[in-house]
Amino acid sequence: MLKKVAVIALPGMAQFEFGVVCEVFGLDRTDMGGPAFDFHVVTAEPGPVPVAHGLTMIVEEGFDAAADADLIAIPAYSVPRGERSTAGLASGERFTSGGFDERVLDLIRSTAARGAYVLSVCSGAFQLAEAGVLDGRRATTHWMYADKLATRYPAIEVDPDVLFVEDENIVTGAGTAAGIDAALHIVRKELGAAAANVIARRMVVPPQRDGGQSQYIAQPVPETRSDSFADVVDWMLENLGQDLGIEQLARKALMSTRTFARRFRAEIGATPAAWLNRQRLIRAQQLLEETDTPLEQIAQITGFGSAAVMRHHFVKVLKTSPQAYRRTFSYLDEPALNRV
């Protein structure tokens, strides 16, 4: 269970990414039926910590407060320019040749080793990489730093095209807003969709953006750039249970099939078939979370036709089965405090 969270204040830290972690985990939202975490800001040496833009933050707690945290987070910061340190530190030394504080690296290593979550936002991934906890794993960081991360740490499979990556208990977020996605993903996985939704509503952000990964996402609003396609998209969402072939959709849009397919991809960013399949999955996820409707009926409602076909798409895209998804994320008939 996710209860205690600590964010590490680093010299040169970016305030926005630090604020993202504080916003998701540092506010008591029990007044809206949401969670409250035991939240701590920690640093290697309590006292003044110089951060970005010439500001200084006073941090009162040291790393002892994070020793039993269920999650530690490392926000974006100024990436050290040195190469990865391969030599051990002499007695009494605190910084590697690359400019990393060994006390921070030790906290990251010990947290990962005991199975608690380690979350990085943007360039915070370099701290995880230097600690060695990303070796042999897939990870991400901001696209501006992806090549540098991959070059400096060749044992990491760096994916620059995703919002975040979860590899067991290690979660790496891409850029600023992706830190929200990664943090909400952890909340959703540990406490359920309702908890993540409460936090997202308070932050006025989507509960989850679709970044092309196997993520448990909430229903996004389709983005279109023209009124004509907005009408077609709305109609498709209202009729997911139908057999929505390209010919029928083209007629609805008063276009030829070739023109419709080309325009749809340009407007929506995916083929009609791929987009429909994704929306059917999202609707099925919602029904699995919020109702006890049988799987066969959900498959009919969402246009998959049968539970077997729906299961195929769940396993292919979400890497889980509908039954397992329901066991994990259903909050039907649970007491309010338990399901958020």
Catalytic residue among 24, 72, 104, 122: 122
Give the Cα separation of 43 and 10 in Å (integer): 7
CA 283 to chain centroid, in Å, comes to 20
- Look at strands 38-42 and 56-59 and give their pairing: unpaired
Sign of CA dihedral 331, 324, 138, 103: positive
With beta carbons less than 8 A apart as the criterion, state whether 326 and 310 touch: no
What is the token pair recorded at 314? 């769940």
Give 273-326 as a DSSP string.
HHHHHHHHHHHHHHHHHH----HHHHHHHHT--SHHHHHHHIIIIISS-HHHHH
- Look at strands 47-50 and 38-42 and give their pairing: unpaired
Distances (CA, A) of 220 to 42, 278, 282: 35, 10, 8
Catalytic, 122? Answer yes
Residue numbers annotated as active site: 122
